[in-house]
Structure 1
Amino acid sequence: MKKMSNGLKARVTAGSLLIALGIIYGDIGTSPLYVLKAIVGDRTITEDLVLGGISCVFWTLLLQTTVKYIWLTLKADNQGEGGIFSLYALVQKRGKWLVIPTILGATTLLADGIITPPISVASAVEGLTMVKSLGEIPVVPIVIVVLSLLFYFQRFGTQKVGSAFGPIMVIWFTMLLVLGLNQIVHFPSVFKALSPHYAYNLLVNYPHGFWILGAVFLATTGAEALYSDLGHCGRKNIRITWGFVKLSLVLNYLGQGAWLLHQGADKLDGINPFFGIVPPWFLLPSILIATAAAIIASQALISGSYTLINEAINLNFWPRVSVRQPSDNKGQIYIPSVNNILWIGCVLMILYFKSSTHMEAAYGFSITVAMMMTTILLCYFLIYHLKWHWLLVLSVLLVFSAVEISFFVANVAKIKERWMFLFFELFIFLVMYVWFYARKINNKYMRFVDLGKFAPQIKELSEDESVPKFATHLIYLTKANHRHEIEDKIIKSIFAKKPKRADVYWFVHINRTEHPSTLEYDVTELIDDKLIKINIHVGFRVQPKTELYFKKIVQDLVQNKELNLHNRPDGSTKYNQEPDFKFIVFKKYLSVENELGIKDGFLLKSYFQLKKLGQSDERAFGLDKSDTEVEKVPLLLSNCTQFHLIRNQN
């Protein structure tokens, strides 16, 4: 077996730490802009409310973000890559039913990405209304312009974006830390909020205190996106930077709490506690820094969404769409269609809700679902990969389930504010469900034959000069895993109607591996210099460039004088030095002769409609159109047998 380049492992450098700050922590890092404001809302400011709210935030960050994601979930890296699909790839063999929590987790994470950018940017821009001369400034148009610019610059790659955003986030977290300390030094008694007693008191004794968890959850919504962005920055970079980020967040929340308890008013009356702790002389600069940080808050979700869809495509959960790599760095991708969907969704959200306060009421429900699904898959990983004792895993499951179910119940109340989200989430779920299970049905009815039975005929055809030569090298893409098997449609293609004569017949199998960045191949000679099988093992994060790989493999075989290919003509002439290659790609369509049940009919019809919206197979596999011929093949699953045909006797 031979290997191609597998990419580089993420290293810890000053630059990589800066990029991690720029990409990973935008969402969770800007939570202080709205968390305390959402907790207090229009309630009367009391010590029980403020200290209880901060205590809940602190323990949520400790349990959910630090313990579950930074310590445990980041262990579940698939050769340095993260996200729910990477986690699924590690545990998929442990149960077929794990497909459903995977689809649910991916759906909700992608759907909630539409509200993360507008709520972060709107919260920051609204601070401008606190400046006397800017009190009437229109917030919505500014937010739309900022978001549009952000999505435009995604095409240049997350590394460039992260390099530019990193220094801004250093300034942002430093500002959080300093502003928090500035209040704490005057009222150090606020540190008692770190005791779990105050969180318990809020949830149990405060009137309707349990439902405040819906606002508390906003403090950790970026944790799932943090795991999805693992491949962009690396585990060590994330863990090292989290210490600085968490310290800044906790001190800022404590500072806001100190200000709330001593600012002299019973109600917020529209004042954001975050900007309340800012000295008047620093208000405008803080708003500008907050706006810049809020722009970056969108980045973790956007880059995570690219990763999510790229994995979904390669694991057969999503139709094939265009995926670009703006740089040579592993994990740096850009998906135009996802970028456009997110941009349109974000603009519609700000136009519908108009303010961050209204968005707070609708935010968080989907992420609680995503976190619960991750917990299910994580438990399988801990048992089967880390070999933890089942009792220890059960303890982990009980702790995180108790926390996440509590957040879920508290967030259920938000359904009425976010009902329009359900249609978007249903659409994403159906796309993934249909694509995955329709392909299962398709593959179930795929027929394979023994290639050895047809080897003499193929050899005879190759040497029959009475048949016009179709190509010097004829290449079929095959799904056959076994050495001597081939799809019957390939045999029919070779012999049917106009037989395809070639000097060498190649069968190329693209094997998607459970590892993200694999790029290896092996070669098997079935008939001397006549029938050759190539298996190219491609990681689920890698965009296949099949024609490029094939030509490189043939070049290696010729240079190494393997299979005697160096003694054979390759089809090139003095007029054209390029070898004569021809790839055959099959395009299936649903035959009208099928009699399908309701479920199978829905799945397959939807599947073929989705295929029309995605990339063609030749583009998806990286084949040049001039070297490719597409053959249409009917998909016949069940013959229509129940009919009565009567001859007219007249």
Structure 2
Amino acid sequence: MSSTTNSRALSGAGLLIALGIIYGDIGTSPLYVMKAIIGERLISQTLVYGGISCVFWTLTLQTTLKYVVLTLQADNNGEGGIFSLYTLIRRRAKWLVIPAMLGGSALLADGIITPPISVSSAIEGLRILYPSIATIPIVIAIITALFLMQSFGTEIVGKVFGPIMLLWFTMLGALGLLSLVYHPEILYALNPRYAWEMLVNYPNGFWLLGAVFLCTTGAEALYSDLGHCGKPNIRISWIFVKTCLVLNYLGQGAWLMTNSGQLLAKNPFYALMPNWFLLTGISIATIAAIIASQALISGSFTLISEAIRLNLWPKVRVVYPTLQKGQLFVPSINMLLWAGCVGVVLYFHESSRMEAAYGLAITIAMLSTTILMSYYLYVKYKSRFIVGSFLAVYIVIEGSFLVANLDKFPHGGWVTLLIGSMLLTVMYIWIKAFIIKRRLTEYVRVKDYLPALRELSMDETIPKYSTHLVFMTSAPHPKEIESKIIYSIFQKRPKRADIYWFVHVETTDQPYTMEYKVKIVEPEDVIRVDFRLGFRVEQRINLFFRHVVEELVEKGDVDITSRYASLSKQHRIGDFRFVVLEKFLSYENDLPFKEQKIMEWYFFIKQFTSGEDKWFGLDTSSIKVEKVPLVIRPVQAPELKRIS
């Protein structure tokens, strides 16, 4: 997982990739934020100054202070995201898995609505020039092309999108700065007093927070994409990004004040552009809005990868398209997001209708991050004052945003909550099934079966199954093994081999750990190999195991020469065969209703995911996949009466 060009270190290339990957969502917010705040209301100083003041202080407190300054500290060896934060503190309290699951599912749900609203907002801008243009087919085509690009990796995507976003933010700042000359007094809007006046004194001003919140919806993705770009590149590039955003919002405010007392006739963003620049500006805005989807897509891949390692998501295929650390692609999630995005476009049709659904789910993700982050700060600083201050400030801020966004529920907000609930249900089923299986898996001591294994290995009346027989085991203790493996060796069909290997894989909380330990349980008969792999390391056990065997042979710890008489004379290497046990729910169970349903849904979902052989990277080896019944609680044997 090393890289030849480390985009995580502070560099020009790293800054450019950060612009291309991370800031699309938050960077295109000027397209619709001020339009959403003004709505169908008369333009007034209280509304314009208050709206810009709210936007500025939301970007300052929420995006800059919470995420860029504080939350980016909670990096797990360079990796970010709510699940990565959870791994840093999960040993503090078991219930922390609840906000982690809530936040993860909400962020994934938000990833399904971000591409449609961003792309639709951009494409609908073309109606200024072409009023009768059909936007829905174009939006679906662009979204499809975007998801097809993901298989090339976010490093490639970032290099392509980075220069475009640099042009976009430069344009934002320039347009805003030029507009300030028409009403320079708009700079007073940075005073928080105007935000307070709008929220308290303006009719229904508090509910405008739902529109204000749209300016910071990409902040959570900023943390999730930490592993793609690195902390230094994100922090430095944010200075440039925020400056350009604030200038553009101020410029829109200056233009709005020149139309005080009127209803909003056109999008204030496009109103900043001179007529000769309009076509060029719309084209750049369209491309930038397409790129806005990238942050949530990249963050979704990161979230799923980490959820898999935490047993919160099914073991789906994860691809590493480049050698760059943090670069990954999840085909099944890519397909799921694409299908969800197309469904949202077909259901809502217009971006104005999508705005009603946008932002509700992400407030839940932000509140979840606040809870987890407070625990992290307590672990790091041991200060109740720091934790209490952080928690109080952001519970109030995000709680207010959540209440204001609840007004969107009947207007489409229920869509993202429904999607999030479905994703949360999958996570709940997966973690509960894992706990049930772990609690009831029976382990036995390997030592008790060593004499029987030696005798079986020497018993020439039984056909040899393989020279080297390798079992994947979940037993965490090196002296133990699952009883099902012993059953497979001795009873299901006696599996005679010269050497029995037991391989265990432990996933660590560090992302890129690559360690192993070998225990010679019985010389020339039984060997145990324990791999410790980080949660972002691709499971390539076939390759790793071969490396271990080569080292053992080189040191003289094991002889892998074939023990067939004719082949040993030629010094041929013996064959290796892997055995993977896949459990299924036995009919011989008498489970409580709740556990029965959890396990039924678990095995129903599991049939659509990768098998254990593919998950461990064994699909190129000689493999035997055995189905073993998971008997959790045997049913009471019926009383049968024999009659003559």
Deviation at 1:330, TM superposition (A): 1.2
What does 1:229-268 correspond to in 2, within 5 Å? Answer: 229-263=225-259, 266-268=262-264
Determine the structure 2 residue equivalent to 1:472: 467
- Give yes or no for contact 2:377–2:386 (8 Å, CA) kept in 1: no
Determine the structure 1 residue equivalent to 2:546: 551
Determine the structure 2 residue equivalent to 1:488: 483
Q: Which sits farther off after the overlay, 332-341 or 361-370?
A: 332-341
What does 1:79-94 correspond to in 2, within 5 Å? Answer: 79-94=77-92
Determine the structure 1 residue equivalent to 2:202: 206
The CA deviation string for residues 514-537 of structure 1, in whole angstroms up to 9 with x for no partner, is: 111111111111111321111101
Determine the structure 1 residue equivalent to 2:20: 22
Determine the structure 2 residue equivalent to 1:417: 411
The CA deviation string for residues 487-509 of structure 1, in whole angstroms up to 9 with x for no partner, is: 11111111114321111111111
- Distance, in Å, in 1 between the alignment partners of 2:54 and 2:20 is 27
Match of 1:188 among 184, 188, 205: 184
- Distance, in Å, in 2 between the alignment partners of 1:211 and 1:573 is 81
Deviation at 1:557, TM superposition (A): 1.4
Determine whether 1:404 maps to 2:398.
yes
Deviation at 1:645, TM superposition (A): 3.7
Determine the structure 1 residue equivalent to 2:317: 322
Determine the structure 2 residue equivalent to 1:373: 368
CA change 1:140–1:91 in 2 (3 A) is same
User: In the alignment, residue 492 of structure 1 is paired with which amino acid?
Assistant: Y
Match of 1:106 among 86, 104, 107: 104
- Distance, in Å, in 1 between the alignment partners of 2:76 and 2:583 is 33
User: In the alignment, residue 185 of structure 2 is paired with which amino acid?
Assistant: S
User: In the alignment, residue 342 of structure 1 is paired with which amino acid?
Assistant: L
Determine whether 1:608 maps to 2:609.
no
What is the TM-score of this pair, normalised by structure 1? 0.95
Runs of at least 5 residues in structure 2 that lack an aligned partner in the other structure: none
Match of 1:128 among 123, 126, 129: 126
Secondary structure at the residue paired with 2:478? Answer: coil
- Distance, in Å, in 1 between the alignment partners of 2:472 and 2:366 is 38
- Distance, in Å, in 1 between the alignment partners of 2:397 and 2:218 is 16
Deviation at 1:625, TM superposition (A): 5.7
- Distance, in Å, in 1 between the alignment partners of 2:346 and 2:584 is 41
- Give yes or no for contact 1:52–1:198 (8 Å, CA) kept in 2: yes
- Distance, in Å, in 2 between the alignment partners of 1:130 and 1:576 is 78
Deviation at 1:155, TM superposition (A): 1.2
Q: Which sits farther off after the overlay, 299-308 or 8-17?
A: 8-17
What does 1:127-526 correspond to in 2, within 5 Å? Answer: 127-131=125-129, 134-263=130-259, 266-269=262-265, 271-384=266-379, 386-418=380-412, 419-526=414-521
User: In the alignment, residue 210 of structure 1 is paired with which amino acid?
Assistant: F
Deviation at 1:76, TM superposition (A): 0.7
Deviation at 1:171, TM superposition (A): 0.1
- Distance, in Å, in 2 between the alignment partners of 1:216 and 1:480 is 52
CA change 1:569–1:79 in 2 (3 A) is farther
The CA deviation string for residues 50-76 of structure 1, in whole angstroms up to 9 with x for no partner, is: 110000000000111001000111111
Deviation at 1:178, TM superposition (A): 0.1
- Distance, in Å, in 1 between the alignment partners of 2:179 and 2:134 is 31
Deviation at 1:564, TM superposition (A): 3.8
Secondary structure at the residue paired with 2:512? Answer: coil
- Distance, in Å, in 1 between the alignment partners of 2:66 and 2:463 is 65
Secondary structure at the residue paired with 1:502? Answer: strand
What is the TM-score of this pair, normalised by structure 2? 0.96
Deviation at 1:560, TM superposition (A): 2.7
Deviation at 1:643, TM superposition (A): 4.3
Secondary structure at the residue paired with 2:103? Answer: helix
- Distance, in Å, in 2 between the alignment partners of 1:21 and 1:233 is 9
Match of 1:635 among 630, 634, 643: 630
CA change 1:636–1:497 in 2 (3 A) is closer
Secondary structure at the residue paired with 2:607? Answer: helix
Determine the structure 2 residue equivalent to 1:118: 116
User: In the alignment, residue 551 of structure 2 is paired with which amino acid?
Assistant: D
The CA deviation string for residues 315-338 of structure 1, in whole angstroms up to 9 with x for no partner, is: 111111121111111111111111
Q: Which sits farther off after the overlay, 198-207 or 523-532?
A: 523-532
Deviation at 1:310, TM superposition (A): 1.2
Secondary structure at the residue paired with 2:381? Answer: coil
How many residue pairs match? The answer is 641
Deviation at 1:467, TM superposition (A): 2.0
The CA deviation string for residues 573-619 of structure 1, in whole angstroms up to 9 with x for no partner, is: 89996641111111111111111111111111111101101111101
- Distance, in Å, in 2 between the alignment partners of 1:422 and 1:62 is 27
Secondary structure at the residue paired with 2:316? Answer: coil
The CA deviation string for residues 81-121 of structure 1, in whole angstroms up to 9 with x for no partner, is: 00111011111111111111111101110001111111111
- Give yes or no for contact 1:570–1:580 (8 Å, CA) kept in 2: no
- Distance, in Å, in 2 between the alignment partners of 1:510 and 1:539 is 10
User: In the alignment, residue 529 of structure 1 is paired with which amino acid?
Assistant: E
What does 1:535-550 correspond to in 2, within 5 Å? Answer: 535-550=530-545
- Give yes or no for contact 2:561–2:572 (8 Å, CA) kept in 1: no
- Distance, in Å, in 1 between the alignment partners of 2:205 and 2:639 is 70
CA change 1:204–1:524 in 2 (3 A) is same
- Distance, in Å, in 2 between the alignment partners of 1:348 and 1:500 is 51
Determine the structure 2 residue equivalent to 1:47: 45
Runs of at least 5 residues in structure 1 that lack an aligned partner in the other structure: none
Deviation at 1:626, TM superposition (A): 4.9
- Give yes or no for contact 2:457–2:497 (8 Å, CA) kept in 1: yes
Secondary structure at the residue paired with 1:512? Answer: strand
CA change 1:575–1:12 in 2 (3 A) is farther
User: In the alignment, residue 399 of structure 2 is paired with which amino acid?
Assistant: I
- Give yes or no for contact 1:9–1:80 (8 Å, CA) kept in 2: no
What does 1:552-591 correspond to in 2, within 5 Å? Answer: 552-561=547-556, 563-565=557-559, 579-591=574-586
